[in-house]
Amino acid sequence: MNLNEIIKAARGEKPADLLVTNARIINVFTGEIVTGSLAVSEGYFIGFGDYTATKTIDAGNRFVAPGFIDPHVHIESSMACPTEFARAILVNGTTCIAADPHEIANVMGIEGINYMLKSAEHQPMNFYFTLSSCVPATDMETSGAVITARDLRSFIGNEKIVALAEMMNYPGVINGDPDVLAKIQAAKHHNKPVDGHAPGLRGRELNAYLSAGVGSDHECTTVSEAREKLEAGMRIMIRQGTGARNLEALLPIINAKTARRLMWCTDDRHPHDLLDEGHIDVIIRDAIGAGLDPVTAIQMATINPADYFRLDHLGAIAPGRQADFVIISDLSSLTVEQVYCRGINVAVNGEMQPDIEKPKPIPSRSSMNLNPAEVDFSIPVEGRRLRVMDIVPDQLITRHSVDDISPADGLAVSDPSRDLLKIAVVERHQGSGNIGKAFVRGLRLKKGAIASSVAHDSHNIVVVGTSDDDMKAAVKTVVDMEGGLAAIVDDKPVATLPLPIAGLMSLEPLEKIRNRMDQLIEVSRDLGSSLKDPYMTLSFLALPVIPELKITDKGLIDVNQFKVVPLFIDA
């Protein structure tokens, strides 16, 4: 930023770099739409009015809004690396994100956070991060790292870190866990906000959580919950992700008085939704479609998150702010025709401009610390019946049921005829040899096996199969790829998605990731599964914070009891 040159241009003593004329400018400060011109110099807005400029573009009476900001997103959910994620969302008008690198932090700890910070450099958009607060998420699983308050203190002052990331450990806060409170206080000490994550938390427990200094929440699902949190001082991020979609339910909380405390966020969006629907733009579009004032909807995506994160140089069209803006054909369809970031035209009609440099994605070290040949999937029979995880289609919960075993040579084996399939979570971080083994119903594979190194929250390798050999081949395929998704038939991979960055992210563009996902899902259909996305289902079977029965590398977890339980009963 050459401030002297900017000031000169603002005074009109030298031509601006860019003048956008005939623009209907969304002014997020006054809430009004003002027709006029705006000038840009050195990547910053310098003012409204008729400046001379080396380049002029005619907005043709289209709308010009600030670039959109996503205040809470996990890049890893797209399976794209930061370089490719940036390109996928920039075309939709998102010019800034505050990403929580929670997934890679669970795999690689501080090294993972550093990887994301490094990968965010030289991108054609603004990357900020929130500092993952809950690594590991629980002690019911083996993660790749533990991040303590002491670790966070060395990062929280970083200018690219805008907040402490979602404090999911609300029981820890409410119970005054010293390390948890120390993390919050580290953020407060640097005058940075603390993002919350408190689904359903109400009343005195909410008060206790907020007393510790939590500033936002993105987990509201009802008007009543959102109103209570808003009144108690939380800024509410209305989330519209791939799984959780809260826009429709929460629209009634938005009005002229509350809007300043509200934002949109995506949290988690998978490749299909990013490519087919969009990013923050689709939330604004849907909100306007549902009757919300367009300027309010845009404020919630621009000045509100900028204010929340104290990013005074972003979120508005005004002198002194970075020239991040979108040109929109009309406000009801909210078609983002052009995207500018730092004064540069980065995308037109949904395509990146060919001259925009694409920073080379950074490879990561291997995050696979296991020898697939040594993994033993056999389950000796130790009782007459066993616990089974029953998948509930389209939901993250499972039902805890009990069924007879299918024995063979003294071992409990997969029995596709009863849709009783063996599932295992193989620890991949510490070389511990840990493996959790159990049975799941609802995947309906008739043959082969599928495996994934995306398995919330610790991202060990989760594998389901009709035979131990196929399961072994699936794990070997994942390990050989340095992480990823694999479908196996007759010991051979038939579809794969390599995710060599921490076993979570690809180096390929989002379109390629989607195509490979399509193949993987198509194969899963051939193998017999009717689930919409069995890999997503698989990844949440390993998450021990959502009821009822889950599996980690430590074994079967009864989530209601929050403890490891034996596979067999009636021993």
Residues lying near its own copies in the complex (CB under 8 A) are found at: 3-4, 6-8, 10-12, 27, 29-32, 34, 44, 46-49, 159, 173-174, 176, 181, 185, 191, 193, 203-208, 210-215, 227, 230-233, 256-258, 260-261, 307, 310, 312-313, 316, 318-321
DSSP β-bridge partners for residue 129: 99, 161
In whole angstroms, how close is the CB of 288 to its own copies at the nearest point? Answer: 17
Using alpha carbons, select from 113, 157, 158, 159 the residue that is nearest to residue 133: 113
Closer CB to its own copies, 263 or 318, in the complex: 318
In whole angstroms, how close is the CB of 334 to its own copies at the nearest point? Answer: 20
Closer CB to its own copies, 47 or 555, in the complex: 47
Closer CB to its own copies, 16 or 274, in the complex: 16
Closer CB to its own copies, 260 or 447, in the complex: 260
Residue found under tokens 């000038």? 39
In whole angstroms, how close is the CB of 301 to its own copies at the nearest point? Answer: 16
Give the containing element (helix H, strand E) for 118: helix 102-119
Task: Please state, as a whole number, how many other Cβ atoms lie within 10 Å of the Cβ of residue 560.
Answer: 10
* Rounded Cα–Cα distance for residues 346 and 222 (Å): 38
Using alpha carbons, select from 132, 165, 167, 160 the residue that is nearest to residue 147: 132
Q: Are 87 and 50 in contact (CB under 8 A)?
A: no
In whole angstroms, how close is the CB of 39 to its own copies at the nearest point? Answer: 8
Q: Structure tokens of 268?
A: 């988690």
Closer CB to its own copies, 257 or 291, in the complex: 257
Closer CB to its own copies, 245 or 260, in the complex: 260
In whole angstroms, how close is the CB of 182 to its own copies at the nearest point? Answer: 10
Give the containing element (helix H, strand E) for 345: strand 344-348
In whole angstroms, how close is the CB of 566 to its own copies at the nearest point? Answer: 35
In whole angstroms, how close is the CB of 254 to its own copies at the nearest point? Answer: 12
Q: Are 25 and 317 in contact (CB under 8 A)?
A: yes
Q: Is 243 exposed, middle or buried, given 0-12, 13-18 or 19+ CB atoms closer than 10 A?
A: middle
Closer CB to its own copies, 49 or 380, in the complex: 49
List for the chain the helix, strand, coil content (%; round to 5): 30, 30, 40
In whole angstroms, how close is the CB of 15 to its own copies at the nearest point? Answer: 13
In whole angstroms, how close is the CB of 317 to its own copies at the nearest point? Answer: 9
Closer CB to its own copies, 39 or 479, in the complex: 39
Look at residue 7 and give its three-state secondary structure: helix
Residue found under tokens 């291997």? 366
Closer CB to its own copies, 45 or 264, in the complex: 45
Q: What is the dihedral of CA 439, 443, 447, 448, to 10 degrees?
A: -80
Closer CB to its own copies, 20 or 108, in the complex: 20
In whole angstroms, how close is the CB of 202 to its own copies at the nearest point? Answer: 11
Closer CB to its own copies, 212 or 426, in the complex: 212
- Provide the strand spans (E) within 283-334: 325-328
Closer CB to its own copies, 203 or 354, in the complex: 203
In whole angstroms, how close is the CB of 319 to its own copies at the nearest point? Answer: 4
Question: Left (φ > 0), alpha (ψ -120 to 50) or beta: where does 159 sit?
Answer: alpha
**Mode of pairing for the β-strands spanning 161-167 and 126-131:** parallel
Using alpha carbons, select from 365, 455, 476 the residue that is nearest to residue 142: 455
In whole angstroms, how close is the CB of 561 to its own copies at the nearest point? Answer: 23
Residues in Cβ contact with 341 at an 8 Å cutoff, skipping those fewer than 6 apart: 67, 90, 95, 124, 125, 126, 322, 323, 324
Using alpha carbons, select from 341, 269, 256 the residue that is nearest to residue 297: 256
**Radius of gyration over every alpha carbon of the chain, rounded to an integer in angstroms:** 25
HSE at residue 389, side-chain half, CA atoms within 13 A, is 38
Closer CB to its own copies, 319 or 407, in the complex: 319
Look at residue 428 and give its three-state secondary structure: coil
In whole angstroms, how close is the CB of 274 to its own copies at the nearest point? Answer: 31
Q: Are 110 and 375 in contact (CB under 8 A)?
A: no
Q: Are 496 and 98 in contact (CB under 8 A)?
A: no
Give buried/exposed letters for 518-539 (b at 16+ CB in 10 A, else e).
eebbebbebbebebebbbbbbb
Closer CB to its own copies, 211 or 530, in the complex: 211
In whole angstroms, how close is the CB of 72 to its own copies at the nearest point? Answer: 18
Residue type, 137: A
Residue found under tokens 């806060």? 173
In whole angstroms, how close is the CB of 225 to its own copies at the nearest point? Answer: 14
Q: What is the dihedral of CA 66, 245, 167, 564, to 10 degrees?
A: -150
Closer CB to its own copies, 303 or 507, in the complex: 303
